[in-house]
Amino acid sequence: MCGIVGFNSKNSDILNEMLKSIYHRGPDDNGVFESDELSLGHVRLSILDLSSTGHQPMSFENLVMVYNGEVYNFKGIRRELEAFGYIFESQTDSEVILKAYHKWGIKAVDKFIGMFAIAIYDRQKKELVLIRDRVGVKPLYYYFDGKDFIFASELKPIMKYKKDLKINKDALYEFFQFGYISSNLSIFENCYKVPPGYYLTLSTQHLALSTQQYWSIIPFFEKPKFTKSEDELADELEELLIDSFKYRMVSDVPVGIFLSGGIDSSIVAAILQKHYGNIHTFTIGFKEAKYNEATWAKKVAQHLGTNHTEKYLSSSEAKEILKNFVDIYDEPFGDSSGIPTTLVSQVAKKSGVKVVLSADGGDEIFCGYERYWYAKNIGDKIFLLPKIFRKILAKSMELIGAQNASKLIKIKNFEHKYNQLTEMLKNDNWQGVYENLIHNSKNYEIRELLGLTKCIKEDSFSIGLKEHPMQGMMLWDYHRYLPDDILTKVDRATMSVSIEGREPLLDHRIAEFMARVPFEYKYRDGTSKYLLRKVLQKYLPNELINRPKMGFGIPMFEWFSKDLRDLFDIYFDEKKIKRQGILNVDYIKKEHKKLKNSTPVNINKLWFILVFEMWYEKYIK
């Protein structure tokens, strides 16, 4: 695991500044390549072959490469290349990637099982290729304005190079809507993410840029569904899981697992404890019982016999992490579970672990989020009403207005519920229902805060909808929420303490297999993750499997209405916000007043505003 940077010119001072800004991603080594056309930089976190033969940038004939990630099946690919006469000097996957590209070009990526952000420069062709892994585990940003081209593992290096970056209002809208910036956007104009499963090609001579997809999960959903029995599917899934998890144990340094006690992390720990043994598991707990999964994680660990470490997160520790939150997440990022993820990464680091496995992706692949069946239930009720009636009702509610209606009906938080229902009634399809449900701030609220409206586009929903509305929701999350929230959270939290996070459930072969599994084996009769639970029953007793899902949240309202309340007073400074000219200060004051008066308020909405103000203070002011 490492950090990479590059730009289409030569400037040693800027290159070194860029590398310093991501030193945490690779404190073990660093290196540069410089030419008039292109500069490349690399910071290394040594995981495989700890010797100097793993140094990057790495060169072979006309190719120069910097790379971040792990290709777990590199030994098999290496044997293939050796049969073609290639000779290897190191035991690294980096050298295998470079020579595989030399042999097969971009088609080499089809052989890779792993997570990666790769930059390869062909000095003969004057051509740079950037490749991002299939799901988007590893980050890869780039800036291009027609003249300057810059890429990096995080935004900080790009900010070191470009001092006059402007905020992208569309991206800001998405942040306040979801708590993260999705798709290929970033918080800055002319700055993007290489989409998962894509590669980008830049001619450094002609400054021509092209983007092309090399993998997608969609074609696997369009294949015929399996007609195998339930037991056959469970056995085949188990074999896939064992193989995928074993690959993630390839390392020359100690490996641990983040264990929440939920289905996904439990199956990772269970399979690896059985097939490897002596697994080290880590858990974060909370004193507030309704958020605390640590007791369940401890029971799972005791049953499996893992070497278990738990740590309870207090509001004072959260406050310490918050001081560095925007250093870790250098783009506005509102997932508050980034706080406990950072703490559990710190705990793992102190225990001597350099690689951790995090069981993300199970909800999107196996159907685990409670919001899926909740949205299905709401949609079923809404679509019982004729379309014309829904439209008339929504229009009538808009004309009456939430404030006027609240004078007649005295219900807690009535105005918000009224406006939310009005928006929901306007939907003509399942995608609209789902997006309305998962918006943290509703469209009417963001209009008041930012003064603009934006519609998002996610085509994959319709592919899943052909099978089931909930499958459409899963694909929506797989393409947006998973890479741009969950995987961003884990990458930045682990790399902030210089440890490598791996995602065993996100092996593309598992996703391809589950795409062809009929939906009834994902969600059946109110049971989520049906097929995955069937596999887990071989490893854990039912009482540790069949329990309510809690998620990885924190006691936001309890903390921010008490111990962390002063942060809002510090950052919600009226004069500063007015000078920025971005957010509606009157709206912020109104929402902040609700918190002060202990009246119902969307605490996540206030948290997003706080995160943006902290980020702005750090990077823009």
Active site residues per annotation: 2
Nearest alpha carbon to residue 489 among 328, 362, 614:
328
CA–CA distances in Å: residue 79 to residues 76, 83, 96, 150, 227: 5, 6, 10, 35, 36
- Edge to edge, the sheet with strand 255-258 lists 307-312, 280-285, 255-258, 355-357, 500-502
Do residues 37 and 205 make contact, with C-beta atoms less than 8 angstroms apart?
yes
CA–CA dist 544, 558 (Å, integer): 28
Q: What is the DSSP letter of 524?
A: B
Give the tokens for residue 376. 């299905």
Residues 6+ apart with CB under 8 A from 303: 540, 541, 544
Pairing relationship of beta strands 355-357 and 255-258 according to DSSP bridges = parallel
Amino acid symbol at 483:
P
DSSP β-bridge partners for residue 310: 283
CA–CA dist 621, 607 (Å, integer): 20
The residue written with tokens 């974060």 in the block is 284
CA–CA distances in Å: residue 562 to residues 25, 421, 428, 472, 595: 35, 31, 42, 39, 10
Do residues 502 and 357 make contact, with C-beta atoms less than 8 angstroms apart?
yes
DSSP β-bridge partners for residue 5: 41, 152
Buried b (16+ CB within 10 A) or exposed e, 451-482: eeeeebebebbebbbebbbbbbbbbbbbbbbb
The helix/strand/coil state of 77 is: helix
Q: What is the DSSP letter of 65?
A: E
Residues 6+ apart with CB under 8 A from 445: 419, 605
